Amino acid sequence: MRIAQIAPLSEAVPPKFYGGTERVVSWITEELVRQGHDVTLFASGDSETSAKLAACTPEGLRLLGYRDHTASHLAMLHAVHKRAHEFDVLHFHIDLLQYPMFEDLYHKCVTTMHGRLDVPDFMPVYRTFTGMPLVSISDNQREPMPSNSNWQATIHHGLPSENCPYYPEAKGGYLAFLGRISPEKRPDRAIQMAIQSGVKLKIAAKVDKADQDYWDEVIEPMIHHPLVEFIGEINEEQKKDFLGNALALAFPIDWPEPFGLVMIEAMSAGTPVIAFRNGSVPEVIADGVSGVLCDTMDDAIAAVHKVKTMSRAGVRRHFETQFTAECMVKKYVAVYEQLIENEKTIIKMPRAGAFTPHYGDLNGSARPSLSAAAMPA
Amino acid sequence: MRIAQIAPLSEAVPPKFYGGTERVVSWITEELVRQGHDVTLFASGDSETSAKLAACTPEGLRLLGYRDHTASHLAMLHAVHKRAHEFDVLHFHIDLLQYPMFEDLYHKCVTTMHGRLDVPDFMPVYRTFTGMPLVSISDNQREPMPSNSNWQATIHHGLPSENCPYYPEAKGGYLAFLGRISPEKRPDRAIQMAIQSGVKLKIAAKVDKADQDYWDEVIEPMIHHPLVEFIGEINEEQKKDFLGNALALAFPIDWPEPFGLVMIEAMSAGTPVIAFRNGSVPEVIADGVSGVLCDTMDDAIAAVHKVKTMSRAGVRRHFETQFTAECMVKKYVAVYEQLIENEKTIIKMPRAGAFTPHYGDLNGSARPSLSAAAMPA
């Protein structure tokens, strides 16, 4: 299959710094290539990939110091549109800008929704361009969306199985908190879980500028307890030990997390997840198998003792059957095949009187397109 | 002529608060209607106009509390594109998003560039979509743009002649500074002008959050001089007296101002402008007639005495002949007519073998379009 992956240009693929979306795009791209597909990655020029790289900007826009990213994405989309006939499928990982430009090509498009969808600012596009084929990263993520959205599938994120290797023993015996220090991630709950259960907590997290007040006023005063250790930011390599040696990952979130990569990173290491039931959590955690679902702090404190008896091999097995990059890409390929299949069905239907010089033209003109919509009736 | 005016959705047209672009769009729209054109204004629902209002959002997005304005603009553009056949001309006042969506309709589009054009972030669109017909608001504004940009004209902004009424006498005898307190507007220079020339200065200005440090550290310590009076923000009504009673407007800017509405507001009141030569300034000020062009602080201090002998009637006359809304709209109508004329020329050329059911279709297919570009060769 000839597949275009269209990535955000803010960071390289994979990202040199932060960028959950760019990491997932990289995993999808590399796995598609491994499975023998002909993949072109539209991304920043400092991306590293075994696919063909279509460099749309010399470096990630954040490195270039660009504050407004719209123009670069519009120029990338123009390049994608010009080359669209080279591909069977165009897979978008950018937020919004592709909706109007590709209205004439929705039959070969799919957009993965990487963020939360309950932001009213974005609704005008979701309500206006309902034809775009969409993939959600959890069922829960779809809830705020218009009922006539063109959902193709929910595809949970997957992780290359070697990224966070399996640790058969929780040598550290601590609770791990990994992510940003922000109110909706509830590091305060993680600290309470440690103190009230008497189990050590290690916090590996960065403090964004936007969250400085929350850190100063709420979290910093809490981290001086002898059971709490704040170790700051860690890199991908340090993450392996940090997660692998933990008794459990504390994931006491207080917001509708669309997916939550860190949960499957922990599960990949064999580390169970103690998570509050919110957003994607009940879809990702098999309660009692790969972690414990909690509704209250009492649940969470009880869970700290419960996970001690949980099989780390069982956690890893749950990861392997559902959350590897291979699992994820199989589902994406099924979506791509379905798009192509739908297309063939339409082709087979005769269109009386239409001059159909070639496949692409038929597809183009058989659908409502931007230009057709603008013609006088 | 059937004309669509496409305004930013951040503020109403005219704006309830700040919004230079929205004010200009309102003046263009009202004057076009007055001249008998059939005008539709695509804008927020709380806009007030004598044209037909196509409400694209209930209120200005800032009032709605939207932080991301992209989706609302994309939805508006979709509505404009669907109705494009109803109009002879589509006149855009939004920044970038229309470039890709209207590639098939550039023959009836024109975009006024309202901002500075030397921001690298935006260049990818200017370099990619060179076909969009453009209007600059000063010749100087064009300088950073690619040489193959499709300029139609420079059209200086114009002001309804009654907005800032003529004051035959400068009763207040002060220098006026009006605008934001920001480093590139150089209120510090205005203060120096007052102190060194011994003439009182009144500062009517708001302090944006972004400029708070500049205010605290640089300007606030300077305003306690007996010749300096800071009067804070003023409204449109207060502006009339503030400008009309001034000896001169101090406009000692230090950046390439694309236009600078306040200069023509002062000129409308008969108040000469003492301005530093930068950006649009030499195009707007007739040196010695409607103000004084300066390169140095010595020039500016000498100018304070020079303006005392300048004819306020002459300043107003310069405004009336070049900077009324009527002048501005005459030039826009000429651009619209030129677009339509070009179009007719293309129509007259026979296109062998083409089935041409109607005007719109011929135009649409005679041009490179998004969908045509995407077809296999």
Up-side HSE of residue B58: CA atoms within 13 Å toward CB?
5
Which one is predicted more confidently, B351 or A70? A70
Question: Residues in chain A, how many?
Answer: 377
Residue B15's domain is classified under what CATH number? 3.40.50.2000
For B289-348, write each residue's pLDDT tens digit.
999 999 999 999 999 999 999 999 999 999 999 999 999 999 999 999 999 998 877 655
Supply the mean pLDDT for chain A.
91
CB-nearest to A360 from B82, B121, B376 is B376
For the record, the structure tokens of A19 come out as 């960028």
pTM for the whole thing? 0.87
pLDDT of residue A153: 98
Same domain, B109 and B234: no
% of chain A at pLDDT higher than 90: 87
Contacting residues of A for B128, CB less than 8 Å apart: 74-75, 78
Contact B121 A96 (CB under 8 A): no
For residue B204, the model assigns a pLDDT of 96
A100 located within any domain: yes
Six-digit token pair at A204? 């590996």
Q: Write out chain B residues lying below 8 Å of A97, CB-based.
A: 70, 74, 97
pLDDT tens digits for B209-248?
899 999 999 999 999 999 999 999 998 899 999 999 999 9
Q: What does the pLDDT look like over A62-72, one tens digit per residue?
A: 999 999 999 99
- Kindly report the average pLDDT of chain B as a whole number: 91
Regarding whether B243 and B202 lie in a shared domain, the answer is yes
Give a yes or no: residue A164 inside a domain.
no
Asked if pLDDT for residue B377 goes beyond 50, the answer is: no
Residues A264 and A334 in one domain: no
- Quickly state the pLDDT bin for A363 (edges 50, 70, 90): very low
Q: Are B317 and B331 contained in the same domain?
A: no
Q: Is residue B223 part of a domain?
A: yes
What's residue B26's pLDDT? Answer: 98
- To probe the interface with A, which of B2, B57, B78 has the most A CB atoms within 10 Å? B78
Whether B165 is in a domain gets the answer no
User: So what's the pLDDT on residue A348?
Assistant: 52
Judged against a pLDDT cut of 60, whether residue B351 lies above it is answered with no
pLDDT tens digits for range A258-308: 999 999 999 999 999 999 999 999 999 999 999 999 999 999 999 999 999
Domain coverage including residue A317: 174-323
* Per-residue confidence band for A215, with pLDDT thresholds at 50, 70 and 90: very high
Same domain membership, residue B255 and residue B217: yes
- Is A373's pLDDT higher than 60? no
Residue B355 has pLDDT above 90, yes or no: no
Residues A359 and A311 in one domain: no
With an 8 Å Cβ cutoff, are B371 and A77 in contact?
no
In a domain, A238, yes or no: yes
Question: B334 lies in a domain?
Answer: yes
Residues A228 and A301 in one domain: yes
pLDDT of amino acid A359:
29
Instruction: Note the pLDDT of residue A357.
Output: 31
Helix or strand holding residue A178 (H, E): strand A174-180
Residue among A82, A124, A375 whose CB faces B72 most closely: A124
- Residue B120 sits in the same domain as residue B240: no
B277 vs B343 pLDDT, higher one: B277
Judged by phi (left if over 0) then psi (alpha if -120 to 50, else beta), residue A296 lies in beta
CA angle B198, B202, B207 (to 5 degrees): 130
On the question of pLDDT at A362 being above 90, the answer is: no
Q: Do B364 and A373 touch (CB under 8 A)?
A: no
**Residues B279 and B217 both lie in one domain:** yes
Same domain, B107 and B254: no
Tell me the pLDDT band of A354, cut-offs 50, 70 and 90.
very low
Nearest chain A CA: its distance from B159 CA (Å): 31
Domain count, chain A: 2
Flag whether pLDDT at A367 surpasses 70: no
More confident residue, A210 or B110: B110
Query: Which pLDDT tens digit goes with each residue over B187-203?
Result: 999 999 999 999 999 99
**Is there a domain that residue A168 lies in?**
no
Q: How far apart are CA B248 and CA B273, in angstroms?
A: 5
* Nearest CB partner across the interface for A84, out of B74, B100, B374: B374
**Nearest-angstrom CA–CA distance, A372 and A368:** 6
Q: Do B97 and A70 touch (CB under 8 A)?
A: yes
Inspect the interface and report whether the beta carbons of B376 and A370 lie closer than 8 Å: no
Q: Does residue B361 register a pLDDT over 70? A: no
Helices and strands, number each (H, E), in chain B: 15, 13
CA distance B81 to chain A (A): 5
Do A220 and A102 share a structural domain?
no
Could you say which of A123, A128, A364 has the minimum Cβ distance to residue B371? Answer: A364
Whether ipTM > 0.90 holds is: no
Same domain flag for A213 and A246: yes
Of A282-286, A313-317, B71-75, B180-184, which gets the smallest average pLDDT?
B180-184
User: Strand runs (DSSP E) across chain B, as ranges?
Assistant: 2-6, 38-43, 52-55, 89-92, 109-113, 133-136, 150-154, 174-180, 201-206, 228-230, 246-251, 273-276, 291-294
* Segment A91-123, tens digit of pLDDT: 999 999 999 999 999 999 999 999 999 999 999
Of B77, B126, B374, nearest to A85 by CB-CB distance is B374
Per-residue pLDDT, A346: 65
Q: Is the pLDDT at A25 greater than 60, yes or no?
A: yes
In a domain, A167, yes or no: no
How much is the pLDDT for B347?
Answer: 55
Across the interface, do B66 and A361 touch by the CB < 8 Å criterion? no
C-alpha neighbours within 13 Å on the C-beta side of residue B347: 16
Using the beta-carbon criterion (under 8 Å), do A122 and B68 form an inter-chain contact? Answer: yes
Q: Do A360 and B370 touch (CB under 8 A)?
A: no
A82–B374 CB contact, under 8 Å: yes
